[in-house]
Structure 1
């Protein structure tokens, strides 16, 4: 795995060189930023989206008014519409609005579309159909380094039912030598009223995951290295989720 990781890391400077046109960052009345990197596993809300090395990248334009639009993507080790495929891709497209309230307080509202591979629909045993694409809205409230969030799924999808709520809390603490301590946890309140043969719910409320880790900014490389330990909880079926150790390396531009 580490050999493969090394090969992929060597490719990243080449990708960044081709993206050097964005280095100036200022675009109109806003700022364009991006990142590209690798993680040893892609874990989302306690569940495994990629059990192998995942390549991930993002691009965001933030306007001085507080509005932002962005894209984030990651490789997956599955294709939701074709079980014979051991690979896929997740595309997240979002629009958000953020403002400071007073001194140390701030908030953000965001709407996100999650598009898996090329989209598509999956049919159940009784003819039910669910789209792989899902949509949610997120509200976050931050006080200094503490952020509380609530995300609500807007429509039934293969990943969940309309009305599913994910509650999160994250705290980051600056350490000496450009290190940061990062912690977070997430729980879900599931809507079981829309269950069908494609999606079942056995727990109305579940603790999904808790994370603790450290990250290190490397200014002269424009990179961030991270190490996270993820304590798995349970999913909507009450299935125990595994614990994971995740390594990451991300270049920012």
Structure 2
């Protein structure tokens, strides 16, 4: 891990940690801050390994009473999408959206998410005649009924890992067990758009099972820390390659 990378991670954690004391008690008349700090043994996103080593993750969000919200979430990675020689990187997710509770059992949320990677920039094909940016933008929508959430995400831009028009469908269900333990499950399916393929990205599978998760979570007394453990069954990627199964274990402090 180089010095610049260390400084980036430490600066992010210091800034969020400094804000936590303020955010915990600061609830203004028109909205409130919330955030999280966490660590996981692996970072698995939609079945793919974004970091197969311990990852530090942090987020901060402001929610307005009108339903509008904006926030940031970040994680360490074990790669740099623009430099194959690097074994580390950082993912920055910025989002803005709107959500409301329709009644005590039903709510919805829509948001636009920008995925920005350390170094940014573009990747090129061998003769540098074509390029794709690593920064992507996705439109996400979730509907929650009691403990069931169903969602759809639509990629809005061509990027190094996907085509505009790619769709991700997912569902998650949480069931409360005794002793404040929650049984959590989720499943995701990808619908790929191959009409925008080029020399940098190819698609052989139109619809694939992406991942399924089953695990447990439990808050640790009144500390604000939650323990989680998931088993992740990997599906396939857009080229039909099998994704690995993984066990993910982590701790998250929420404020």
Give the TM-score normalised by the residue count of structure 2. 0.91
**DSSP 3-state at the match of 2:102:** strand
- Gaps in structure 1 of 5+ consecutive residues: 1-11
Q: Is the 8 A contact 1:213 1:229 kept in 2?
A: yes
Secondary structure at the aligned position of 1:97 is classed as: strand
CA distance in 1 between counterparts of 2:25 and 2:213 reads 34
Corresponding residue for residue 41 of structure 2:
40
Between the aligned partners of 1:98 and 1:229, the Cα distance in structure 2 is 30
Distance of 1:107 and 1:18 partners within structure 2: 28
Alpha-carbon spacing, 1:177–1:14, altered in 2? closer, same or farther (3 Å) = farther
- Equivalent pairs counted in the alignment come to 243
Cα separation, 1, equivalents of 2:202 and 2:26: 45
Unmatched tracts of structure 2, length 5 or more: 1-12
**Match of residue 98 from structure 2:** 97
| TM-score using structure 1 length | 0.92
- In 1, the alpha carbon distance for the partners of 2:89 and 2:203 equals 25
Aligned to 1:207: 209
Distance (whole Å) between structure 1 residues aligned to residue 231 and residue 26 of structure 2: 33
Residues 17 and 128 (structure 1 numbering): CA distance in 2 closer, same or farther, change over 3 Å?
Answer: closer
* 1:216-231 correspondence runs (5 A): 216-231=218-233
Which residue of structure 2 lines up, in the alignment, with residue 117 of structure 1?
118
- Report the RMSD for the aligned CA atoms in angstroms: 1.8
Correspondence 1:179 to 2:181: yes
1:125–1:197 contact (8 Å) kept in structure 2: no
Aligned mates of 2:19, 2:70 — CA distance in 1: 22
Runs of 4+ deviating beyond 3 Å: 12-19
The 1:219/1:95 distance shift into structure 2, 3 A limit, reads farther
Distance 1:250 1:91 in 2: 18
Following superposition, the deviation at residue 28 of structure 1 comes to 4.7
Alpha-carbon deviation of 1:173? 1.0
Offset at residue 178 of structure 1 (A): 1.4
Structure 2: how far apart are the matches of 1:244 and 1:145?
25
Any residues of structure 2 matched to 1:21-60 within 5 Å, and which?
21-60=22-61
For 2:164 and 2:29, the matched residues in 1 are separated by 38
SS at 1:236 equivalent:
coil
